[in-house]
């Protein structure tokens, strides 16, 4: 095989499958013939579609993740170096393509790398979705025999339809065209060798060969520089292409070249020769990237050398040349040359031997020397243990698979001998043997990775220093040291997990570039436990240890008997007082580290995408709770957990809690045999969950202003891990005073009654202390108490005289009170006449009428308190008095010897007698008898006159001299007075000239009316009032005109019945006269109480039709009228119709109407059916007695028989069977004249099937009718 010395312009394409490509592929491997196992990974080989042998390393079937039929899956990298490679393939390779697909659901990038003849050509773009991807590389242009190889560079991936094109496929035609198809590199560089590949094509564009040897010349057609190298060649017959190698051009410019046929020994042939135009770029600049910090005896981070173009990017056309490394300052090992690939050469195995400063530079063909870099190399780091837990949880199997769950564990170490202020990567694990030489991914446990610059953790199974996602990082301090909390999560992959093992912690340290520096181990071992409810045996020799040295001179504590303590229970605190991102360490009675945990936050979740949760509930449920932590402790641990210490990330103690008996507020850590089910927080079974003692005060808050309203203030707190608390208060710098003791902490609050004026002058603090753990306490921030304003009273509303000085005030109690007065809701300001608008007393000098208003005051205290308001204080300015009633002169008629009364209603500023303002006026009243206006007579109370100084004057035993004119004078505040209208008292002479008459109405009438009329000799106005049953009628929807001489009643009904009268008096008052009463009666149409019934009777038989109706009273006459077939039957106007000789012509439909003065009602329609023939079941009649046939007949249950008695008489009715035996007496009593009915219950009489006879006996009359009983 021959490999081109320079390879350039490789085009790489990775895109979705639906995007098509234009290449016609010479060969395709479909993988239909592969023989990899379907359900497990293996190494193997098979012969593919084109007779090529394909070899696979850790491959398997596609597991259902198919692309285009059968595919091949490669196992994940870097755990396994999975790959696929061919046997030798002839005629080189030009272009390449394959299809890729993600296998399984686990998150992580999928990626492959293409190698030709062991040299990396290109890497596909990383992806992590389920869509099919296309990985295509063009212009590879490697001649001769090649080996095609794909290496997996990510998680599990499926490969299908691997395709490529070659140089050497001859399609059997004669060439007609000579074309330079490829330049290598695609953009040649000045003075750097390049290759021009010429292909021989036919008219269809297919490659073909000459039949004879052919001479070619490479010609410079356009360019000002010099083209050097082998320009004259002979192409052997049968070859489809040729390469002009070692060409060079000495100027950076665009040129044009052509391959010209000099002689192909077939002169009759002519060829179309195509020019190739391209640009020659400037010579690249050589630059190097070398990590400047290193350690002896470790592989230094990869050193990269770049051939940079003019714009500072690697020149991808500088390919295949070797770079040489130059190192001085000390000895080293590793390759001194590396090949450029697309402008980059990498030195990956340099190891410095000495602690020294090395000088590193590089050279490359045609490019000269690179920059010089100094590398500081120091000795290997070491590690110091600080905290290593005595126990860890093993057997980290998935819970949904019946497993034992996973939880993280933490150990604190200090790494020394680092470069100062330098970033390092690290991964951690557990091992049983020291030293451990396996890949770190094969050490036990998963990692919670943390970056030094971030507060977040990343959980995964990867432990790769060269992958930032699968490693942690640290930053050393100025002295070259760093403290690290190693974080390892139990898993189920390695035998370290088994209970009874003792493991060492391992820390693999790497540079920030990902190269491994060293592996460091703890001396102290941790015992592997599992969750269980079983008891441990702490009496065995488990803790006796001996010291031995291993092969690496590390001192290791090895327990003699590893099988005594193997069982553990979960322990957690759902809301501890520790700070997130810190760590809690649990200690036993011997002050030994039992276990450790991280204080939770968002980021330490044990979740792998695509998989169920991996931790027990007590971790999973609280892994995002601020302050929560979860770990495990051995079952029945002697003395239990007696100390819990909180450390920060640097290992500094932040807080610690102690409990000398291991009983934490009722949670017994020495009897903890819960396994994976420790008591839940707030469980309903009364079990106590573990809680670190902690108190947090929630109220009062920072610098809170508390308004003391006289109600209890809730001191709110969250007390965990303690059952009783004491509550204290400090006023300023005074000693603490207890305000409550032994408060039940579970309540979370205490209602504090704040005494007024006690806490208002100082800053205050609340302290809450645990009764059980005196060292656990919490103090609030300073706060102040302000007594809320309390309204205690204010000036009452009052009336004032104009120009008077008015003072109104409000009285309140509280802290820092402020006042604001308002007039009709508008804030007031001090002015010429106004003062005290912002004090408790408001003064108005020289009050005026426009000062009359409602005044209020707002009293404010501290902003924490609501203001209080005074009551409304009405200020009235005295105005003239006035009268409301009467509003005109009044005439009052009375009778000699009776009494007369006069009254008025006065007002002051609109208020009447019962209002306090009216009373403030101190109203005085005086009645007068009018004489001439000058000499009017002042009335004085005596045995006939009362109320002469009130608003109600009475004169008794009226005499002729009393019939005169009267008035009242009122006087009040500020000298105001008023005179009423005149009251003219006359002798009454009202007489009725028309009395009301009785009215009978019918229900449904539109209206009825009563009328009456009264007059006076003087022709005075008369006021009327209609009365019902002696009571005044109020105007409403039925009663109209109740104060006129004619009363109208709309839609009268029974409720309106009664006696109506009219009362009359003179307009102005005085005695009244009442008319005679007249009745109103409201009648209705008759009501039928019994309807007639249909009759069936044989010709010649007797029957009766009867109706019963009620009128309005017994005296009312009802008129009956019978109809047959709608035609009135003349002369038939009775309620009972008896007929003794039924004839066929009586057949028809009958009804009866009943009529009174208010209308007519109609009965139901019935039929009379007269049938021919003779039967024993018919109505029987004699001497006016009638016995109808029973209905129904025959009878199964009840039957009814009707009969008529023409006069009151004793009646006996019996039931006789066909043998003449009396079966039952149906009736034996006196009956009145008229129709009757009798019910016969055949079942109650226990009648059997057969014929029976109903007989009626009265005086000398006997009637009988037949009844048939069916059973």
pLDDT of residue 559: 38
CA distance 98 to 160: 6
CA distance 362 to 1180: 148
1268 pLDDT tier (thresholds 50, 70, 90): confident
- Looking at residue 911, the DSSP 8-state letter turns out to be B
pLDDT of residue 266: 52
pLDDT of residue 1197: 87
pLDDT of residue 402: 59
- Are 167 and 201 spatial neighbours (Cβ–Cβ below 8 Å)? no
Q: What is the mean pLDDT of residues 937-956?
A: 93
Assess whether 155 and 271 both reside in one domain: no
Looking at the domain assignment, is residue 148 inside a domain? yes
Q: What is the mean pLDDT of residues 824-829?
A: 95
- Are 487 and 408 spatial neighbours (Cβ–Cβ below 8 Å)? yes
Assess whether 1145 and 1021 both reside in one domain: no
CA distance 485 to 408: 12
CA distance 1248 to 1215: 13
- Are 1004 and 831 spatial neighbours (Cβ–Cβ below 8 Å)? no
Q: What six digits make up the tokens of 917?
A: 């303002």
Q: Residues 352-392: pLDDT tens digits?
A: 999 999 999 999 999 989 889 999 999 999 999 999 999 99
Which helix (H) or strand (E) covers residue 66, if one does? none
CA distance 536 to 532: 10
Q: Which of the pair, 55 or 185, is modelled with greater confidence?
A: 55
Assess whether 158 and 185 both reside in one domain: no
Does position 493 have pLDDT exceeding 70, yes or no?
no
Assess whether 587 and 726 both reside in one domain: no
Assess whether 454 and 527 both reside in one domain: yes
Look at 296-300, 442-446, 881-885 and tell me which has the smallest mean pLDDT.
442-446
Burial of 838-862, coded b for 16+ CB within 10 Å and e otherwise, reads ebbebbbeebeeebbbebbbbbbbb
Torsion angles phi and psi, residue 867, rounded to 5: -70, 160
Percentage of the residues of the chain whose pLDDT score is greater than 90:
56
Looking at the domain assignment, is residue 611 inside a domain? yes
Give Cβ neighbours of residue 383 (< 8 Å, ≥ 6 apart).
Answer: 413, 414, 415, 416, 507, 520, 521, 522
Assess whether 1148 and 1181 both reside in one domain: no
544 pLDDT tier (thresholds 50, 70, 90): very low
Per the confidence metrics, is the pTM higher than 0.75? no
Integer Rg of the chain from CA: 61
DSSP of 639-656: T---EEEEE-TTS-EEEE
> How far from 469 is each of 464, 466, 514, 631, CA to CA, in Å?
9, 9, 11, 25
Q: Residues 674-696: pLDDT tens digits?
A: 999 899 887 767 678 899 999 99
Look at 537-546, 624-633, 985-994, 1050-1059 and tell me which has the smallest mean pLDDT.
537-546
Strand partners, 811: 793
CA distance 443 to 494: 7
Does position 214 have pLDDT exceeding 50, yes or no?
yes
Torsion angles phi and psi, residue 1144, rounded to 5: -60, -35
Does position 556 have pLDDT exceeding 80, yes or no?
no
Q: Residues 620-661: pLDDT tens digits?
A: 888 888 899 999 999 999 999 999 999 999 999 999 999 999
pLDDT of residue 592: 95
Assess whether 1169 and 1181 both reside in one domain: no
CA distance 874 to 855: 6
Q: Which of the pair, 714 or 1141, is modelled with greater confidence?
A: 714
Give Cβ neighbours of residue 762 (< 8 Å, ≥ 6 apart).
Answer: 731, 732, 734, 784
Does position 1111 have pLDDT exceeding 70, yes or no?
yes
Does position 285 have pLDDT exceeding 70, yes or no?
yes
CATH number, residue 157: 2.60.120.260
1175 pLDDT tier (thresholds 50, 70, 90): very low
Domain housing 1220: 1176-1271
> How far from 40 is each of 34, 66, 78, 401, 1268, CA to CA, in Å?
14, 17, 18, 21, 98
1172 pLDDT tier (thresholds 50, 70, 90): confident
Give Cβ neighbours of residue 595 (< 8 Å, ≥ 6 apart).
Answer: 389, 390, 391, 392, 409, 585, 586, 631, 632, 633
Assess whether 407 and 514 both reside in one domain: yes
List the one residue out of 557, 526, 534 whose CA is nearest residue 544. Answer: 557
Q: What six digits make up the tokens of 866?
A: 């609501």
Looking at the domain assignment, is residue 417 inside a domain? yes
CATH number, residue 331: 2.60.40.10
Percentage of the residues of the chain whose pLDDT score is greater than 70:
93
State which of 118-127, 259-268, 393-402, 1102-1111 shows the largest mean pLDDT. 118-127
Look at 166-175, 542-551, 977-986 and tell me which has the smallest mean pLDDT.
542-551
Q: Which of the pair, 660 or 207, is modelled with greater confidence?
A: 660
Q: What six digits make up the tokens of 810?
A: 């409000």
> How far from 147 is each of 116, 339, 1222, CA to CA, in Å?
6, 19, 130
State which of 743, 761, 786 marks the end of a domain. Answer: 786
CA distance 1207 to 1192: 27
CA distance 1156 to 1251: 48
List the one residue out of 1037, 1116, 1035, 1046 whose CA is nearest residue 1075. Answer: 1046
- Are 995 and 1012 spatial neighbours (Cβ–Cβ below 8 Å)? yes
List the one residue out of 879, 860, 876, 877 whose CA is nearest residue 868. Answer: 860
Report whether the peptide linkage leading into residue 216 is cis, meaning its omega lies within 30 degrees of zero.
no
443 pLDDT tier (thresholds 50, 70, 90): confident
CA distance 1265 to 1251: 11
CA distance 200 to 179: 7
Assess whether 409 and 551 both reside in one domain: yes
Looking at the domain assignment, is residue 685 inside a domain? no
Q: What six digits make up the tokens of 354?
A: 């000495």
- How many domains are there within the chain? 10
Looking at the domain assignment, is residue 265 inside a domain? yes
Does position 336 have pLDDT exceeding 70, yes or no?
yes
The end-to-end CA distance of the chain, in Å, is 121
203 pLDDT tier (thresholds 50, 70, 90): confident
State which of 378, 396, 414 marks the end of a domain. Answer: 378
- Are 215 and 186 spatial neighbours (Cβ–Cβ below 8 Å)? no
Per 3-state DSSP, what percentage of the chain is helix, strand, and coil (rounded to 5)? 5, 50, 50
Assess whether 55 and 153 both reside in one domain: yes
Looking at the domain assignment, is residue 169 inside a domain? no
Q: What is the mean pLDDT of residues 59-75?
A: 93
Q: Residues 751-808: pLDDT tens digits?
A: 999 999 899 878 999 999 999 898 999 999 999 999 999 999 999 998 898 899 999 9
CATH number, residue 1248: 2.60.40.2550
Assess whether 1020 and 909 both reside in one domain: no
Assess whether 509 and 596 both reside in one domain: yes
- Are 343 and 307 spatial neighbours (Cβ–Cβ below 8 Å)? yes
* CA torsion, ordered 1239, 1245, 1249, 1251, to nearest 10 deg: -60
- Looking at residue 240, the DSSP 8-state letter turns out to be S
926 pLDDT tier (thresholds 50, 70, 90): very high
CA distance 849 to 614: 87
State which of 320, 355, 378 marks the end of a domain. Answer: 378
Q: Which of the pair, 200 or 35, is modelled with greater confidence?
A: 35
Look at 169-183, 737-751, 1076-1090 and tell me which has the smallest mean pLDDT.
169-183
- Looking at residue 514, the DSSP 8-state letter turns out to be S
Q: What six digits make up the tokens of 610?
A: 């695509």
- Are 1257 and 1222 spatial neighbours (Cβ–Cβ below 8 Å)? no
Q: What is the mean pLDDT of residues 1177-1182?
A: 64
Q: What is the mean pLDDT of residues 133-161?
A: 91
Looking at the domain assignment, is residue 5 inside a domain? no
State which of 468-472, 620-624, 820-824, 1256-1260 shows the largest mean pLDDT. 820-824
Looking at the domain assignment, is residue 684 inside a domain? no
Give Cβ neighbours of residue 1240 (< 8 Å, ≥ 6 apart).
Answer: 1190, 1195, 1198, 1199, 1200, 1201, 1215, 1226, 1254, 1267
């Amino acid at each position: 095989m021959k490999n081109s010395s320079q390879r350039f312009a490789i085009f790489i394409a990775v895109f979705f499958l639906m995007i098509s490509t234009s290449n016609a592929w010479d060969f395709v491997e479909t993988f239909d013939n592969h023989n990899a196992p379907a359900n497990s990974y293996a190494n193997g080989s098979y012969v593919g579609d084109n007779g090529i042998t394909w070899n696979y390393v850790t491959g398997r079937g596609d597991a259902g993740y198919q692309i285009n039929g059968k595919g091949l899956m490669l196992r994940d990298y870097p755990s396994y170096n999975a790959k696929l490679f061919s046997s030798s393939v002839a005629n080189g390779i030009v272009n390449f393509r394959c299809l890729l697909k993600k296998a399984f659901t686990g998150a992580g990038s999928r990626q492959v790398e293409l190698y030709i003849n062991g040299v990396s050509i290109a890497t596909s773009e990383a992806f992590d979705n389920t869509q099919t991807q296309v990985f295509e590389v063009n212009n590879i242009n490697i001649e001769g025999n090649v080996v095609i190889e794909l290496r997996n560079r990510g998680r599990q991936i499926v490969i299908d339809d691997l395709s490529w094109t070659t140089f050497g496929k001859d399609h059997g035609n004669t060439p007609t065209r000579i074309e330079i198809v490829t330049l290598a590199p695609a953009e040649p560089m000045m003075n750097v060798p390049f290759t021009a590949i010429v292909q021989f094509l036919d008219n269809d564009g297919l490659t073909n060969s000459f039949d004879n040897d052919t001479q070619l010349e490479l010609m410079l057609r356009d360019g000002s520089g010099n083209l050097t190298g082998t320009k004259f060649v002979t192409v052997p017959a049968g070859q489809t292409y040729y390469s002009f190698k070692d060409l060079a051009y000495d100027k950076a410019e665009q040129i044009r070249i052509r391959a010209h046929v000099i002689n192909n020994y077939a002169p009759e042939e002519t060829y179309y020769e195509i020019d190739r135009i391209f640009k020659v770029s400037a010579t690249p600049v050589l630059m190097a990237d070398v990590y400047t910090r290193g350690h002896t005896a470790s592989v230094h981070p990869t050193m990269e050398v770049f051939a940079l173009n003019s714009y500072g990017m690697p020149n991808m056309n500088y390919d295949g040349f070797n770079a040489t490394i130059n190192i001085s300052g000390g000895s080293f090992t590793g390759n001194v040359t590396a090949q450029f690939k697309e402008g980059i050469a990498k030195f990956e195995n340099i190891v410095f031997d000495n602690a020294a400063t090395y000088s590193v530079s590089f050279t490359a063909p045609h490019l000269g020397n690179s920059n010089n870099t100094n590398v500081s190399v120091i000795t290997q780091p070491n590690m110091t243990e600080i905290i290593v837990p005595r126990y860890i949880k093993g057997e980290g199997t998935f819970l949904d698979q019946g497993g034992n769950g996973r939880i993280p564990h933490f150990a604190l170490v200090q790494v020394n001998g680092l470069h100062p202020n330098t970033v390092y990567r690290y991964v951690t694990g557990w091992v049983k043997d020291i030293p451990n030489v396996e890949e770190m991914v094969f050490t036990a446990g998963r990692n919670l990775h943390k970056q030094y610059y971030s507060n977040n953790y990343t959980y995964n199974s990867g432990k790769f220093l060269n992958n930032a996602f699968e490693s942690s990082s640290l930053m050393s301090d100025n002295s070259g040291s760093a403290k690290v909390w190693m974080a390892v999560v139990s898993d189920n992959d390695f035998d370290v997990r088994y209970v009874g093992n003792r493991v060492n912690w391992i820390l693999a340290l790497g540079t920030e570039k990902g190269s491994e520096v060293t592996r460091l181990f703890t001396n102290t071992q941790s015992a592997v436990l599992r969750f269980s409810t079983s008891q441990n045996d702490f009496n065995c020799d488990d803790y006796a240890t001996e010291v031995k040295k291993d092969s690496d001179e590390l001192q290791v504590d090895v327990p003699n008997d590893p099988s005594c303590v193997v069982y553990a229970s979960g322990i957690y605190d759902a809301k501890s007082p520790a700070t997130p991102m810190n760590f809690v360490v649990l200690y036993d009675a011997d002050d030994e580290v039992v276990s450790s945990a991280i204080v939770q936050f968002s980021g330490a979740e044990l979740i792998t995408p695509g998989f169920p949760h991996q931790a027990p509930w007590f971790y999973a449920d609280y892994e995002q709770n601020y302050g929560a932590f979860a770990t495990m402790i051995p079952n029945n641990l002697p003395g239990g957990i007696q100390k819990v210490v909180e450390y920060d990330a640097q290992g500094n103690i932040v807080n610690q809690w102690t409990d000398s008996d291991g009983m934490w507020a009722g949670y017994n850590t020495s009897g903890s045999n819960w396994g994976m089910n420790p008591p839940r927080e707030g469980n309903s079974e009364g079990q106590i969950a573990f809680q670190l003692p902690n108190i947090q005060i929630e109220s009062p808050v920072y610098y809170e202003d508390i308004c003391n309203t006289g109600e209890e203030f809730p001191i709110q707190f969250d007390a965990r891990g303690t059952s009783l608390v004491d509550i204290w208060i400090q006023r300023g710098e005074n000693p603490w005073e207890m305000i409550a003791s032994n408060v039940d902490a579970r309540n979370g609050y205490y209602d504090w009654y704040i005494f007024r004026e006690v806490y208002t002058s100082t800053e205050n603090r609340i302290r809450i202390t645990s009764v059980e753990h005196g060292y656990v306490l919490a103090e609030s921030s300073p706060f102040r108490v302000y007594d809320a304003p309390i309204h205690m009273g204010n000036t009452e509303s009052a009336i004032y005289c104009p120009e008077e000085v008015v003072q109104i005030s409000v009285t309140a109690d509280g802290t820092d009170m402020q006042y604001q007065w308002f007039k009709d809701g508008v804030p007031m300001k001090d002015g010429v006449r106004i003062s005290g608008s912002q004090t408790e007393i408001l003064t108005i000098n020289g009050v005026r009428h426009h000062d009359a208003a409602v005044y209020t005051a707002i009293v404010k205290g501290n902003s924490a308190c609501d203001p209080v308001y005074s009551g409304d204080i009405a200020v009235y300015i005295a105005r003239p008095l006035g009268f409301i009633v009467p509003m005109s002169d009044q005439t009052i008629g009375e009778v000699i010897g009776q009494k007369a009364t006069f009254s008025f209603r006065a007002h002051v500023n609109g208020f009447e007698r019962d209002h306090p303002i009216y009373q403030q006026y101190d109203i005085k009243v005086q009645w007068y008898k009018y004489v001439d206006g000058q000499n009017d007579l002042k009335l004085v109370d005596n045995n006939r006159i009362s109320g002469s100084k009130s608003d109600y004057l009475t004169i008794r035993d009226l005499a002729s001299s009393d019939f005169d004119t009267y008035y009242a004078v009122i006087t009040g505040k500020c000298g105001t007075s008023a005179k009423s209208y005149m009251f003219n008292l006359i002798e009454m002479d009202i007489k009725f000239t028309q009395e009301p008459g009785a009215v009978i109405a019918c229900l449904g009438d539109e209206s009825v009316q009563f009328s009456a009329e009264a007059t006076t000799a003087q022709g005075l106005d008369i006021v009327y009032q209609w009365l019902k049953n002696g009571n005044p009628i109020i105007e409403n929807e039925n009663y109209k005109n109740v104060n006129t001489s004619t009363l109208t009643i709309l839609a009268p009904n029974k409720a309106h019945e009664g006696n109506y009268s009219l009362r009359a008096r003179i307009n102005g008052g005085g005695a009244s006269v009442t008319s005679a009463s007249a009745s109103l009666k409201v009648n209705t149409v008759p009501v039928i109480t019994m309807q007639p019934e249909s009759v069936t009777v044989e010709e010649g038989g007797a029957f009766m039709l009867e109706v019963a109706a009620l009128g309005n009273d017994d005296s009312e006459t009802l008129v009956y009228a019978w109809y047959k077939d709608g035609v009135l039957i003349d002369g038939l106007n009775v309620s009972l119709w008896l007929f003794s000789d039924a004839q066929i012509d009586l057949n028809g439909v009958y009804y009866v109407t009943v009529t009174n003065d208010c209308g007519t009602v109609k009965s139901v329609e019935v039929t009379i059916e007269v049938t021919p023939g003779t039967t024993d079941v018919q109505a029987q009649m004699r001497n006016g007695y009638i016995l109808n046939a029973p209905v129904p007949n025959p009878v199964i249950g009840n039957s009814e028989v009707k009969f008529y008695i023409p006069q009151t008489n004793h009646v006996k009715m019996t039931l006789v069977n066909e043998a003449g035996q009396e079966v039952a007496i149906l009736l034996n009593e006196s009956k009145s004249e008229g129709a009757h009915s009798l019910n016969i219950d055949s079942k109650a009489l226990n009648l059997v099937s057969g014929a029976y006879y109903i007989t009626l006996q009265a005086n000398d009359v006997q009637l009988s009718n037949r009844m048939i009983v069916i059973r």
